[in-house]
Chains A and B, each alone.
Chain A
Amino acid sequence: MFKLEPRPQASKFWGIGSPLLALIITVIIGIAIFMLMGKDPVKGLLVFFWEPIKSGYALSELAVKATPLLLIALGLAVCFRSNVWNIGAEGQFVLGAVTAGGVALLADKTTGPWIIPLILIAGVLGGMLWAGIVALLRDRFNASEILVSLMLVYVAELVLSYMVYGPWKDPNGFNFPQSKNFEKVTQIPKLFDGTRMNVGLLIALFGVVGMWIFMFRTYGGFQLQVGGLAPAAAKYAGFSSRRALWTALLVSGGMAGLAGALEVAGPIGQLTPYVPAGYGFAAIIVAFVGRLNPIGIVFSAILMSMFYIGGELAQSRLGLPKSLTGVFQGLLLFTLLACDTLIAYRIKFSKSAGGK
């Protein structure tokens, strides 16, 4: 049997080594899955790790998927660093998409491009509202933010469903549950012609820098982190845990809502029941794999969007279910958590130590 021996200091090496080891283990399990399904594992790996980066257009699609993941994960990193367990970013994303979509639907032929900032602000406010409910119930009623934020995911999806089946249904849409296509003027400006990449990517990258400064260079960010790591110390120092709770949830809710707005006014261009694509849940994995660090999150967001694109390609090219994406995402988080043990502990193998 083995025994874990606490390290005197957290290992810097394994801080970065652990996600890489987790990725390697996930890939090995992936190869096993491909072989079990009777597919060529080399083809399988190419679909996930080469196809998404092999051309300029493929890279632009990668960026399209990475943008919402990046935005949401940045907000979640603030939450998790403050020890606030917001796991309902998916709901905040969906509600942001609904409020942003509501503004976008107001546009008509005479509307100017000034509508775009309003759409984005509406998305941010929608996400903040949804996360604000969580903060309020945690703050005033001590209700678990884990359960409340998760329940609100289902509620947000039903709100979206009501809107697209009811008041916002396109009257000329052959009775499909979807809104009319947004006016062209609401379209988030694209970065290059011929791709779907838009200004959202720049906003996300700007968010990376902003979040890094906030977390590591401001007193507010410092207070949040102390509150997360050592609540007693934070209390002693007079840092308000209530303010930390509200800040963490409103920031992450706003970021998720912004991602929702960029998604509906960008690549999607209308409201449909298929707006929720699981980005809010995948972003939890992005945040952890990226070590809750803005720079790390850039890399993990790219990796996770490779999983998304790989899953779609595995469906069209290899005839595997698209849900393979979810399998790999879950596996990666699972193996990461196991590998993270190496950061705080050294493994000692011994013959006598029992498994008590």
Chain B
Amino acid sequence: MESFALLIAATFNAGTVLAIAALGLLINEKSGIVNLGAEGMMLCAAIAGFAAVVHTGNDWVGFAAGMAAGAGMAALFGVLVIWLNTNQYATGLALSLFGAGFSAFVGVKYVQEKLPARPSYAIPGLADIPFIGPALFKQHPLAYIGIALALAIIWFLFKTRAGLVLRSVGESPESAHSLGYPVRRIRLLAVMFGGAMCGLSGAYLSIIYTPLWVEGMVSGKGWIALALTTFATWRPLRVLFGAYLFGGVTMMQFHLQSQGVDIPSQFLSMAPYLATIVVLALISRNPAWIRINMPASVGKPFYPGS
């Protein structure tokens, strides 16, 4: 029972990393732009955040640094894709390749660094409830912010005027443009929001989750977050649950290993990647599911007056 509560807590923790990034990418894609640079932004944010904590000792400065790194890189991507009309896939890929190299380059001198011991978190009162307390109420504040983020995004997308404008930009940039909305500026903001959230997620990974810096430490989580938006057919709550599900798949390997299950660790480590492939195939099999909520112009360039 005790270990099961810990497994849930670990799942929650691992899911938060994916959830924050995937929710950011959801807004990004709702504007009609796919940024394949998620992995690179998370890597750079992970080292930026980690370095900031090493130098200042304050986690929140680290998170801010990670967000700034993510948003900055996303802005670079956005200017290329939105103003210079470069291919979205190739540019995102360039961002991922550059991010992998750059983070490794900058991170060399932080590889040996250790962060001071993390304080333990607990919500007073709730954390003392048997089973539920250790399972759910002993998380870092960002784990709850992740849930709040999903709710805020639902409210923003479906209850506010700005959300409606964002969706219309993703559905039909031509109509939004002819109505006088600054399509490109809106897209840039959405892309930067996506970058900032990938950055927050990357910083959470290096500051709270591991907490250390290793070259390539994001190990595909950025790509899984990108896949999550598709699995979830661009619905925020489904993104959130999908993230926890994949957090669970990641954690299952450690759980099984601690239970002494005799499977080579490499096969257990494959689980999140194989699960991504299987779920992607199952969901994509039915084009109708995908198409209902997919922003109609996603991946297509828009250049006013062309």
Contact = CB atoms under 8 A, between A and B. Distances in A.
A137 B108 contact: no
Contact of B227 (A147, A154, A166, A327): A147
A167 B295 CA distance: 48
A309 B235 CA distance: 46
A67 interface: no
Contacts of A341: 84-86
B21 interface: no
B93 A329 contact: no
Contacts of A148: 277, 280-281
Contacts of B267: 158, 162
B80 A337 contact: yes
A165 B266 contact: yes
Contacts of B226: 147
A284 interface: yes
B306 A159 contact: no
Contacts of B87: 337
Interface string A321-356: 101111111110110011011001100000000011
What interface size band does chain B fall in? 35 or more
B98 A323 contact: no
Nearest to B98: A330
Interface string A141-179: 111101110111011001101100110000000000000
A141 B281 CA distance: 5
Interface stretch (B58-66, B124-132, B179-187, B196-204): B179-187
A185 to B, nearest CB: 30
Interface string B72-96: 0000100010011111011101110
A241 B83 CA distance: 31
B170 interface: no
Contacts of B89: 85, 146
A285 B270 CA distance: 27
B36 interface: yes
Interface residues of A, number: 48
B53 to A, nearest CB: 21
A204 to B, nearest CB: 22
Interface string B247-260: 00000000000000
A282 to B, nearest CB: 8
Nearest to B109: A321
A155 B303 CA distance: 39
Contacts of A87: 93
A154 B220 contact: yes
A-side interface mostly: helix
B93 A141 contact: no
A93 interface: no
Contact of A323 (B95, B215, B281, B303): B215
Interface in B255-306: 264, 266-267, 269-270, 273-274, 276-277, 280-282, 284-285, 287, 290, 303-304, 306
A4 B84 contact: yes
A193 to B, nearest CB: 36
Contacts of A141: 280-282, 284-285
Interface in A1-43: 4, 6
B143 interface: no
Residue of B185, B269, B277 with most partner-chain A CB within 10 A? B277
A48 interface: no
B270 A327 contact: no
A321 B84 contact: no
Given A146-B36, A151-B273, A162-B267, 18 more contacts: A6-B306, A150-B223, A151-B276, A151-B277, A152-B277, A154-B270, A155-B274, A321-B104, A323-B108, A323-B215, A330-B40, A330-B97, A330-B101, A330-B102, A337-B86, A341-B84, A341-B85, A355-B184
15 contacts: A6-B306, A137-B277, A143-B281, A151-B224, A154-B219, A162-B267, A281-B97, A284-B97, A321-B104, A324-B105, A326-B105, A330-B94, A333-B94, A334-B91, A340-B86
Interface of B: 36, 40, 76, 80, 83-87, 89-91, 93-95, 97-102, 104-105, 108, 182-185, 215, 219-220, 223-224, 226-227, 230, 264, 266-267, 269-270, 273-274, 276-277, 280-282, 284-285, 287, 290, 303-304, 306
Interface of A: 4, 6, 85, 87, 137, 140-144, 146-148, 150-152, 154-155, 158-159, 161-162, 165-166, 281, 284-285, 288, 321, 323-331, 333-334, 337-338, 340-341, 344-345, 355-356
